[in-house]
Amino acid sequence: MNHAHEIIIAGFGGQGVLSMGQIISYSAMKEGKEVSWMPSYGPEMRGGTANCIVIVSEQRISSPIVTRFDTAIVLNQPSLDKFQAAVKPGGLLLYERSTIITPPTRTDIEVMGIPGLEEAQRLTSKQVANMVLLGAFLERRPVVKRENVISALHSVLPPHRQHLLPANEQALARGRELALEHAGRLVES
């Protein structure tokens, strides 16, 4: 991967949007890659909209401001409506199935709906829904290595959340499985 991979992660505040971006960024830094992490959120924070742009590159990043993305990970309908068109042709649009009423309609990109929240609840911790999506993303676009994501989690999770590390690891693995199942369905159809 010698070009930059440009990602937008968007949803409501409190869905783990910014931490998902941080985890990708920390993982990439551990791999010696160039990284840009740029958060943006509405004044409301929790319940308001939040997004972050993450760029992972082998070379120096010229600008952290991009308007077209290789991947969009969206966790709610307003974010899907806002960013669906910004995914480059051939890119990936990954969305949280439970919050999307009108699924994406584009046919020139890979579209993958993942039941992150449902899977997280099955793992008895709804806080790890974003990790299910991250696991799915990394299976389709391995911009960073899984083992670095696990060690990045140690850095990002606050002390009172460290007990969730095993659940986060399970969620990542479950997301990977869901992405593999999705890819299998694509091959069959």
Domains of the chain: 5-188 (3.40.920.10)
The CA-to-CA distance between both ends of the chain, in Å, stands at: 29
Among 16, 67, 71, 10, which Cα is nearest to 40's?
10
Tell me what the pLDDT averaged over the chain comes to: 89
- What pLDDT band is residue 78 in, cutting at 50, 70 and 90? very high
Per residue in 112-155, pLDDT (tens digit) is 999 999 999 998 788 899 999 999 999 999 999 989 999 998 88
Contact (CB, 8 A) for 173 and 130: no
Q: What is the pLDDT of residue 156?
A: 80
- Inform me whether the pLDDT recorded for 58 exceeds 60: yes
Give the Cα separation of 158 and 146 in Å (integer): 20
Render the burial of 94-104: b for 16+ CB within 10 Å, e for the rest. bbbeebbeeeb
